[in-house]
Structure 1
Amino acid sequence: MSEDLPGRLIEIDGLSTHVVTEGSGPPVMLLAALGSNWFDLDQLADALSSSFTVIRFDRPGYGASEALSRDTWPTLDGEVRRISGVLDALAIDEPVVIAAHSMSSMYAEAFAREHPDRTAGVLMIDGTFVMFPWRVLPTALRVRNCHRAVAVAELLRLPQLLGAAAHDSVYPTPPTGYTAAQRFWICQVFGRADMLRATLVENAAFPTISLDLIALRERDDRTVRAAVTVLAALPAAGLWLRWWRWRHRRYAQILGGVYEEISPANHLVVAQHPADTAFYVERLARRAGHTPPVGP
């Protein structure tokens, strides 16, 4: 079985980058979480594409995008450039709403701070907010350890053996299930060592990215100038609910944004509740004045 790759490949910052666009209307960019690919946002994109031009892209090593060289790793500045590069390649010059899941919220915040003229609004979907930054080992050493771990995994053929099972062990099945095409790409992407390597390396770079974002906040010395919503995914009950709610309310306060929540939900809410997530994207877009024109 073979499937045509959706979207197209565009060179961004020297790397072949997989970009998918669909729908029409004001632009909305979806940023995937650590370890996520374009197809993990399919249901959310489908829910938005009747009103918006929905843009997705795979970061290096994910999906169908070319991987970073082995002596480099993701950086905050690099991901901000990548977002700009995708918008430039698509000739999108109007401000965009960015809906960023989990760790990618750090990239969305940095982009909004550095490019306020290109940002209409930002939705942090169960975003990453580090209250106490830390870094024990140098990033270069952490990244080298990731490459060593992946070399062992390749020797044991773990990506090929696990494939889609690795994806399904983490991601909830969307309400409408998976199409045959989605199943095909899940097997293809999760059967590659590049996917595992990209996930481990991005996680290894996380402490440095976090410290760079905190430094950017201090230099910027203000809340984000675009409309911001912090959307928390909360369990039905328990101590974790109270902690997560407090944490995300604090996150919204730092960004100067509005706090919202979906409950009961888990961290992978974009797959678990795509329609509900789309509702909050649309609500933020209206608050930012980022709405489709009314027809005759």
Structure 2
Amino acid sequence: MGAFVRIGGVAHHVVVEGSGPVCVLSAGLAMSWFDWEPVVRLLAPRRTVVRFDRPGHGLSGPAVVPPTAAGEAQRIAAVLDAVGLAAVGPVTVVGHSIAGFHAEAFARLYPARTVGVVLLDSSVEPAARVPAAPAVRTALARGLATALTAVGAPAALGPATRRAVVRASRAGGVADPAPHALVRRTYRTARVLDGALLENTHYKAVAAQLLALRTTHPLPAHAPVTVMPGYDGRPGLLSVRRLERQRDLADLLGARFEPAVPAGHLVMLDRPAAVAAAVLRTG
């Protein structure tokens, strides 16, 4: 199940497995450490795999402050430090969905600690701006979480909502493979609801902060980047547009563009072997 380390006053749930060069896995909005299980089984024989839950996610403690691009990059560095991997050499950082922002920010802010970047169906916001009144937005998000918790929404709907979202985010509508006990333990809690609402509320702000980092902090030339979107293989307009946005991201970053087909948004569940292969190529 892993261990807990304290970062910024919050207990972070971290799981470290395997041996060899280090890779760090960070999942998307409201996802948990166990969503990486199929990938970890393939990587652990050849890599030291670090996966962690951000505040308000998985088994980590509640989120104390809103996320920022720099703050999430610092969190990745702090997790590595806290589990004794600060001096083992540069790492491959893997970010899924919104955590793609965090992985890219880490590479830009910690180039000496980065050997490669893999962006799995990463969020893409090429023209994001920081929304006005961030404190008001935070208060509204937390007020909504409090109101929903007061009427028992997390306990009543959390696990079922998780299951429905996972099914909708996989190619072919495949069911959620996560154990029921873990889903119930994680998604019946108010802190996960609060953490998801807080990250979603500040999504555009984090995207805009990353855009600013791109103008001041180049990606390390020695660290290859792979952009791996999920693509269901259908010619529908929505699917094609999503794929084009990911290709634009790869072009912008000078990255290898490698769609996972067929796959939905949860590439690590639909195509774990492709994800593992991309990580292993980085060093």
Partner of 1:255 in structure 2? 253
* C-alpha distance in 2 between matches for 1:178 and 1:101: 18
SS at match of 2:248: helix
Q: Is the 8 A contact 2:111 2:219 kept in 1?
A: no
Q: Is the 8 A contact 2:230 2:265 kept in 1?
A: yes
Q: C-alpha displacement at 1:177, in angstroms?
A: 6.9
Partner of 1:157 in structure 2? 152
* C-alpha distance in 1 between matches for 2:176 and 2:188: 20
Query: Mapping of 1:238-253 within 5 angstroms?
Result: 238-253=236-251
Match of 1:106 among 91, 97, 101: 101
Structure 2 segments unaligned to the other structure (5+ residues): none
SS at match of 2:116: strand
Q: C-alpha displacement at 1:276, in angstroms?
A: 2.8
Query: Mapping of 1:1-296 within 5 angstroms?
Result: 6-69=1-64, 72-92=65-85, 93=87, 94-172=89-167, 178=177, 182-220=179-217, 222-225=218-221, 226-237=223-234, 238-282=236-280, 284-285=281-282, 290=283
The TM-score, its normalising length taken from structure 2, stands at 0.91
* C-alpha distance in 2 between matches for 1:99 and 1:29: 6
Decide whether aligned partners of structure 1 residues 148 and 37 sit closer, same or farther in structure 2, where only a CA change above 3 A counts.
same
Q: C-alpha displacement at 1:135, in angstroms?
A: 4.4
- Deviations 1:143-169 (Å, cap 9, x if unpaired)? 211112112211210111123212101
Structure 1 segments unaligned to the other structure (5+ residues): 1-5, 291-296
* C-alpha distance in 2 between matches for 1:40 and 1:128: 18
* C-alpha distance in 2 between matches for 1:278 and 1:52: 10
Q: Is the 8 A contact 1:171 1:271 kept in 2?
A: no
* C-alpha distance in 2 between matches for 1:224 and 1:101: 20
Q: Is the 8 A contact 1:175 1:273 kept in 2?
A: no
* C-alpha distance in 1 between matches for 2:220 and 2:140: 36
Q: Is the 8 A contact 1:223 1:256 kept in 2?
A: no
Say what the alpha-carbon RMSD is for the aligned residues: 1.9
SS at match of 2:42: helix
Count residues in correspondence.
275
The TM-score, its normalising length taken from structure 1, stands at 0.87
* C-alpha distance in 1 between matches for 2:108 and 2:211: 12
Moved more, 159-168 or 187-196: 159-168
Code of the residue aligned with 2:215 in structure 1: it is E
Q: C-alpha displacement at 1:53, in angstroms?
A: 0.7
Q: Is the 8 A contact 1:100 1:124 kept in 2?
A: yes
